[in-house]
Structure 1
Amino acid sequence: MQPLENIRVLDLSRVLAAPTGTMLLGDLGAEVIRIEHPEGSDSMREWGPFVNGQSTYYLSANRNKKSITLDLKLESEREKFKKLVSDADIIIENFKTGDMKKLGLHYEELQKVNPRIIHVAVTGFGQTGPLASEPGFDPVIQAMSGLMDVTGAIDGEPTRVGIPIADILTSHYVVIGVLAALRQRDLTGNGQFIDLSLFDVQLSSMANVTSAYLNAGYVSKRLGNQHNNIAPYQVFKCKDGLIMICAGTELQFIKLCMLLNKPEWVQDERFKTNVLRKNHENLLAEMINEITVTKNRDEWLQLLHDYKIPGGQVLTVAEALEHPQTKARHLIGEVEHPVYGTVKFIKNPLQYSELNIQYKYAPPILGEHNDSL
């Protein structure tokens, strides 16, 4: 039995944030019905690279779903949608703020059809505020949340994260929000509306950076691979590549000094505390690099393991996918589609003792299930 078995999700969303959230709900057993315009309404289908005519970007966010088409601008199609709502548990959409109301399909109206419905609206900036009507794109959210300001080289320009991190984080909040609302519905019998904003999610995910400013007035700096609060905590050069070393505690720094055969650094007035090490971080990094460049990554990785100091090789995506840890965790899955063949993907990271997550459906072709729903 799957935990969300008998839960029906109507997925009106496009691109990545909300579709990834509905995919995760599908992984947990929900019946996810993806609803698009008959001519297609998800530009993600058009983004390469492609395999067997299918966008690999689209494939990344749409397994475990069915697909039907409806033109919600037509009254007859809206009535079909309302009929689906009457037997559904969750609606997830990421139309611009106000668009569902223009269609007469806003929460207050749909609640009349089904008082138990949970309606999640994912937007760039939320249902209120001066930017409520603005579209939300991940790079814009990264820029406006301050994330780019603290990402990138010290002397370089603000840099976005290499994946759509605001979208991905928001997809997780989709799932958290739905699970909590389902639990509350168990207690009260009522559904509710969830207003979820990419901007809110990314700002709330700035963690120590925003805490430092709000509570101490401290403005975090762009430090490349260094850390705002800890040293040494960055990338170092080896003979054959790069390695990340994180000496996050005083004991770990002492162990690192022993590993590097530099016990005198422990009592060095420049390095005796983390605050002092941060003040002399560039000098310390230069001194460490002079040593790390003398060995290969694998040699240092073994030494770090032996001394119980957190560290890891800086891998390419290909190396990460081929890593023994990836294989040991069985993280790469496959699912078959009758038209375009095998789809490979990274499995859901939740590994339960009493649940085997199932991958029933490959990402569907537009309208694939029109005749079966």
Structure 2
Amino acid sequence: MSAYRGVRIADFTQGVAGPMACMLLGDFEAEIVKVEPPGGDRLKDHPGYSAWNRNKTVVTLDLSVPADLAQAKDLARAADIAVFDHPPGDLEALGLDAASLRDGAPHLIHVWMPPYGTCGRWSRMPPRHSLLAAISGIAFRQGAHGDSPIHLILPIGWYGQAVMAAGAMGAALYERGASGQGQAVTVSGLHGVSEVGGVVMVLDQPRLPRGAPQGASPSYRLYQCGDGEWFFLATLFMPFFRKAIDALGLGAHWEVLVLNPALALDVLEEVFRSQPRRHWLGLLADAGVPCAPVGNRTDWFAGDAVRHAGLRLEFDDPVRGPLAMPGPPARLSATPASVRSLPTAGPLPAWGPPQPRTIGPGASRPLEGVRVLDMGSVIAGALAGAVLANLGAEVIKIESPEGDPFRSDGGPFLTCNRGKRGLGIDLKQPGAKEMFFDLVRQSDVVLDNYRFGVRKRLGVDYEALRQINPRIISCSVNAYGDAGPRAPLPGFDPLLQAEGGMMAAQGGDAEPVLHTIAVNDVATAGVVAFGIISALNARRRTGEGQEVITSLLAQSLTFQLGEVVTWEGRPPAPSGGIDCVGLSPAHRYYECQDGWLAVAAETVAEAEALLTVLGTQADPTDALTAPPEGPLAGRLAATLAGRPRAAALDALEAAGVPCAPCVRGYEAYDDPWLAENDVFVAWRHPRLGEAVGVRSYADFDRTPGGFRHPVPDAGEHTRQVLAEFGLAPERIEALLAAGAVFEPAAARSHLRDGGAALFTQ
């Protein structure tokens, strides 16, 4: 039995985020009926449509026709989950809002996924990812050579919204399994951006510098070789960097290079330009140094690494012929996902009334009562635990005396570890493993992102844990999956950006560009949370736990799902360039007198309105197709450069041109529209003081989530947690004395840069 078999989903969404969110549950056998208007999904011709809507039956209803609207309401009320992505106000006008649909259908989980926010001036714009990136601040978080926002080629905000919504749907189903009650759930584009790009800001700390397109550190950076080819050196931690320096024959200069990053960069650039890429990749790989060549997504998707991971699926499309798409991004051992069909047109299903449910006491939070032992570190594993904590799980961050190698007092580490309590364990000491197994007996989930094989070496792999607790869910993340020759290798987010084609796509025909937001890490965190929640729902049916496996490799496909779907003759996906500001004169970022704005005209009418407002004589079709840095774009840029931003936005908005202000990353914390949408919350770290961070990754009307704890120091809550697990005081003292567990004063961890090069303000 799969995790969501028998769950009915009425999918009223279009585009990327809503369809993909439903797709993730459909992979686990939810029955999905996708309702489209007479003209079809607005992205029906996008190559990603086949993937975002796989395993679905597609029906057509015109919601402006009373009879069709009545059928839509009946379908939604008969479903377990009804999903919508309309802008604010539209659902109420149609009677498809949560209050209207749940009247007489208390079981219904009503999910609303607006593309931007839930209220305010910029929430009713047509869906354009560049506008979401502009108003949320992530366009200015991307590293750049100059001082401009960057048009992100991948719609990472909407991909993040999709994964957060899938997890929220699963969490609402899990809670309904206990209470019998549905509820209204909201996962906006701003929720997606919160998971993808939200960074905690400690108020008395200086802002992080903006990242560089090739990487901000000589140890974690793109390098060009003697043959003109590029590769990424991913030595984020000093032991790896030392290996690289030694392999290059520079070990005698180690201290000088470490103390002088600018010198180190000059030296390494000169060294790598002396030989072709294949030489350096071979030499560094032989020394155990994480590195990867920059490639394109087509070769990556067709290559051995993806094949070994079992992530390339092929279908016979009746129109396009042989078609390949990525498989499900997480593997559940007992209730696996599958892709059973491409989207298929069909009639409305004869769904009968839902089974009556016994209404029980409701939980206060979606995942209330779920206990997670979080052994994750850096970003992918640690942020997954934070997402689960935000949904209400009790998450205990377990660290060795050395600490999480990412640990620091900086915003990136704080972002990935909010909502947790800290427990220090040294599994190498006598009595530690037996004590850990005592915790496993009373827990629901064990989460880690150890390199492949490390769990088994430590004796904490799934087979060992299930002997202790058959209901345990053991989730493990690694770089390259658990099959094939790469499985044991260390890996970091940019390596998958490089090989997976993300860097080449953002750089276009010029040099590759590092995504400053750790795309594959944050994608993996979201998929891990969704996979664990799916396993919890499956356990409610079967009574048994299982293993959940995913990887950065899998997410190198998930967060470019629409871009890697392929068939012979497929149109090329968009590509960027150096400091890319857009795709055309009508769809790009422009600088005004006092700040930047975004315009995102995609129709002839919108382009004509843009030209009229700016007093520019040109063919609207040219505005939609000309280069974003060409003569027409230059004329528009010169006009806007002489205008105040607010006045320009007022005129453009009045004329019907999709537009928005570009908010700088650090400005987001004080932006009035983001405040109106309740994106951020102030909180206090007991040692660092006042901080600001994202409030939530989803909103639930009956069981609200949110963070209950600040970020723990290593081992901060050791005594408290062990006592709550029922360990006697004398045993706790004996474990402390033996070094099996520790408190902050005994931790040998030190503050590091916390990966500041990965995030920007």
For the aligned pair, the TM-score class normalised by the smaller chain equals 0.7 to 0.9
1:233 Cα deviation after fit: 1.6
Aligned partner of residue 45 in structure 1, secondary structure: coil
Q: 1:359-370 to 2 correspondence within 5 Å?
A: 359-370=707-718
Alpha carbons 1:227, 1:233 under 8 Å: kept: yes
Aligned to 1:45: 407
Q: Which moved more, 1:279-288 or 1:318-327?
A: 279-288
1:359 Cα deviation after fit: 2.8
Q: Which moved more, 1:14-23 or 1:205-214?
A: 205-214
Query: Unaligned 5+ residue runs, structure 1?
Result: 47-53
Aligned to 1:199: 553
Aligned to 2:661: 313
Alpha carbons 1:334, 1:345 under 8 Å: kept: yes
Aligned to 1:243: 597
1:157 Cα deviation after fit: 1.8
Aligned to 1:107: 462
Aligned to 1:36: 399
Q: 2:374 aligns with which of 5, 11, 14?
A: 11
Aligned to 2:563: 209
Alpha carbons 1:233, 1:245 under 8 Å: kept: yes
Residues 68-95 of structure 1: per-residue CA shift (max 9 Å, x gap): 1111234521111111111111111011
2:418 is aligned with 1:56: no
Alpha carbons 1:122, 1:197 under 8 Å: kept: yes
Distance (Å, rounded) in 2 between the aligned partners of 1:133 and 1:214: 34
2:584 is aligned with 1:221: no
TM-score, with length taken from structure 1: 0.87
- Number of residue pairs aligned between Structure 1 and Structure 2: 357
Q: 1:165-180 to 2 correspondence within 5 Å?
A: 165-180=519-534
1:281 Cα deviation after fit: 7.4
Aligned to 1:282: 630
Q: 1:121-140 to 2 correspondence within 5 Å?
A: 121-140=476-495
Aligned partner of residue 44 in structure 1, secondary structure: coil
Distance 1:247 1:61, change over 3 A: same
Alpha carbons 1:335, 1:359 under 8 Å: kept: no
Aligned partner of residue 119 in structure 1, secondary structure: strand
Distance 1:263 1:353, change over 3 A: farther
Distance 1:336 1:323, change over 3 A: closer
Alpha carbons 1:107, 1:193 under 8 Å: kept: yes
Residues 169-227 of structure 1: per-residue CA shift (max 9 Å, x gap): 21111111111111111122222211111121122211443236776163653335355
Distance (Å, rounded) in 1 between the aligned partners of 2:679 and 2:627: 41
Alpha carbons 2:366, 2:704 under 8 Å: kept: no
Letter paired with 1:16: I
Letter paired with 1:104: G
Distance 1:294 1:281, change over 3 A: same
Alpha carbons 2:375, 2:448 under 8 Å: kept: yes
TM-score, with length taken from structure 2: 0.44
Q: What percent identity do the matched residue pairs reach?
A: 29
Aligned partner of residue 312 in structure 1, secondary structure: strand
Distance (Å, rounded) in 1 between the aligned partners of 2:530 and 2:581: 31
Alpha carbons 2:585, 2:627 under 8 Å: kept: no
Aligned partner of residue 33 in structure 1, secondary structure: strand
1:7 Cα deviation after fit: 0.4
Aligned to 2:682: 334
Q: 1:84-123 to 2 correspondence within 5 Å?
A: 84-123=439-478
Q: 1:134-153 to 2 correspondence within 5 Å?
A: 134-152=489-507
Q: 2:588 aligns with which of 234, 239, 242?
A: 234
Distance (Å, rounded) in 2 between the aligned partners of 1:279 and 1:20: 38
Letter paired with 2:402: G
Q: 2:385 aligns with which of 10, 16, 22?
A: 22
1:8 Cα deviation after fit: 0.3
Aligned partner of residue 216 in structure 1, secondary structure: coil
2:542 is aligned with 1:188: yes
Distance (Å, rounded) in 2 between the aligned partners of 1:212 and 1:337: 48
Alpha carbons 2:368, 2:394 under 8 Å: kept: yes
Letter paired with 2:635: M
Alpha carbons 1:96, 1:135 under 8 Å: kept: yes
1:289 Cα deviation after fit: 2.1
1:123 Cα deviation after fit: 1.0
Distance (Å, rounded) in 1 between the aligned partners of 2:575 and 2:685: 48
1:341 Cα deviation after fit: 3.6
1:251 Cα deviation after fit: 3.2
Distance 1:28 1:251, change over 3 A: same
Distance (Å, rounded) in 1 between the aligned partners of 2:662 and 2:595: 8
Alpha carbons 1:63, 1:359 under 8 Å: kept: yes
2:614 is aligned with 1:252: no
Residues 7-30 of structure 1: per-residue CA shift (max 9 Å, x gap): 000000111111111111111111
Distance (Å, rounded) in 2 between the aligned partners of 1:35 and 1:195: 20
